[in-house]
Amino acid sequence: MNVFRRIALGLAAFLLVAGVVYGAVSQEYVGGMLFLLCAAGFAFIGLFVRHAIRESDAAAAEADAAYEEPHIGPTIWPFVLAVGGFGVVLGIALSPWIAVVGAALFVVAGVGWFRDVGRQWSHDRQH
């Protein structure tokens, strides 16, 4: 969220400068006003996200004292899911059989990943 805030405020600053320059250089004023309107919109979004981050950090600080997040260990399933997705895309381009194998691998990897994470969460809750 912090990166999003910076991007939104950076775009607001850029559009503000671009709107002022465009309005001063060009002979039409509608484009400059649209730049300034977009700058105001991005500034609003950036400031809103900044406020939300501060509220979220305050709530998280209170919640951290009472809750410890379970650790999820490393797993191979995200890699297998990516290979399955690549197989689907490659199969669409080359052969339907490759797409079928890729889709099957994709589904198996998705189920395996969710089961693995669920098992790790239940194991952490028991301890």
pLDDT digits (tens, 9 = 90+) for 15-61: 999 999 998 999 887 888 889 889 998 998 888 888 888 777 777 66
Looking at the chain, the number of H-run helices and the number of E-run strands are 4, 0
pLDDT value for 22: 93
pTM for this prediction: 0.46
Please tell me which residue, 127 or 118, carries the higher pLDDT value.
118
pLDDT value for 58: 72
CB 101 within 8 A of CB 92: no
- Per cent of the chain over pLDDT 70 is 83
Angle at 96 between CA 90 and CA 102, to 5 degrees: 55
Give residue 64's pLDDT band: very low, low, confident or very high (50, 70, 90).
low
Q: Give me the mean pLDDT over the 93-97 stretch.
A: 89
In three state form, how does the secondary structure of 17-71 look? HHHHHHHHHCCCCHHHHHHHHHHHHHHHHHHHHHHHHHHHHHHHHHHHCCCCCCC
Distance CA 99, CA 77 (A): 19
